[in-house]
Chain A
């Protein structure tokens, strides 16, 4: 499942438009296996658009247009079936969006959609995913209850478990802690750090400190441009660009 060398995503001259709005400009970067890449930047800098392009979720939007190349595992993402790509590139959204199903069925949903029916396999994988998301102990006796009965932090870990259950290679986190309290945030961050052993993680965050805490490398976006990408400690100690420095010091954004 894990390729130890090379790159997961290779992005060349990526430009994105929504109708007349030029949202991303000439972004080139690579995403390495088993790293946590943090993406920071103020609102409207294009970081969520960037993330939703990687699993082709933006393809469902009207007026979406892109140029440039995005190579995932040696193949342009356009050449994948969207369903297959999204199976390999999972996503956790900003809000804890449980589906209106039971806890168990939320985690099993992706597998069921891929045609897995064997009850034993399903329940094994659900347990494994919930363990990986550090939620198993809290929910193991109430798997058939509605997912909406869980707290926000638990639901967000349920969403992580749901994504893990599909066994992706890459997980895209879109501001996963924006609606969570500090303790829930710490739990989600813990989970992310432990997950990078088996997965590649791209983390879009509005929380600069979170990027510093968990990111191996950090990319700074501003007005649709990739300003700087470097190891997290370099970005936060010796940024090359003055705008990066200003942003992480909280001078704007």
Chain B
């Protein structure tokens, strides 16, 4: 005779095991990187330029470069992504053109990041003659995170109840007024969450910046958006594989800074979403 209670316990155990298998590697990555990288984190490491062929000194130009790139990517991707999301959610009808647009967005999300890098090289660096520059890199990263921003923004807009729109229209508001005063304000937390997730992705990717902006070694801060810049992911790649005899501490310290930036952004996204859920009134 089978004991249903025991079957249930076994099932619960397997589910728990699967969950732990996900949590453990994440935890280990964080622990190992903190353990090995924390000793490198000093004020000088965070604020100094790299010295002695990147075997000493700090990573300040790479931090600044990454912040510039992320800011540029968002300045480009947020307005375009948001407008596209408003169009798709509020205005588009279900016809072939719009199905093609939706398909394109899904596919854009699936393109490997190195392909974005090559695309950015061909379009921005060569064709538009921006050269390897912060501008080219930002635009490339921006295109890469567009699908994230469009998809999450669209979901946020569509989660605003249809009834709010009808009430607004029934009071004589125009469609645009309804979007502007009812739909957008209630979708902002969701849009912000998506934007920050996109930021985190842009900060961490190496391939798209490889050919479009990243400098191997540039011990100074960029003067304009047409300058090359160092960036954390690429710097990490360089000191891990291209430069011999770099102290392990410096490599893990760089990784820790990058990880901290990305995790911090995700944390902000989680906090916004959590507060939004608590405030949600319908």
| A contact residues vs B (CB 8 Å cutoff) | 55, 57, 60, 62, 82-84, 86-87, 90-91, 93, 95, 97, 99-100, 109-110, 112-114, 146, 148, 159, 162-163, 166
Contacts and interface: CB of A to CB of B under 8 A. Distances in A.
B42 interface: no
B163 interface: yes
B8 interface: no
> Which 10 A-B residue pairings sit nearest by Cβ, starting from the closest?
A87-B172, A110-B171, A113-B173, A91-B170, A86-B172, A148-B281, A97-B163, A83-B172, A113-B177, A97-B167
B159 to A, nearest CB: 13
Contacts of A163: 170-171
B166 A57 contact: yes
A93 B177 contact: no
Nearest to B162: A60
A93 B166 contact: yes
B169 interface: yes
B282 interface: yes
A100 B169 contact: no
Given A83-B174, A84-B172, A114-B172, A93 B181 contact: no
Contacts of A148: 281-282
B interface, size bucket: 10 to 19
B148 to A, nearest CB: 26
Interface string B184-195: 001000000000
Contact of B163 (A55, A95, A114): A95
A57 B170 contact: yes
A100 B170 contact: no
Given A62-B93, A113-B181, A99 B164 contact: yes
A86 B171 contact: yes
Contacts of B93: 62
A91 to B, nearest CB: 4
B168 A55 contact: no
Contacts of A84: 172
Contacts of A55: 170
Nearest to B185: A100
B172 A110 contact: yes
19 contacts: A57-B166, A60-B166, A60-B169, A83-B172, A83-B174, A86-B169, A95-B163, A97-B164, A97-B167, A109-B168, A109-B173, A113-B171, A113-B174, A113-B181, A146-B281, A148-B281, A159-B167, A166-B171, A166-B172
Contact of A99 (B174, B177, B182): B182
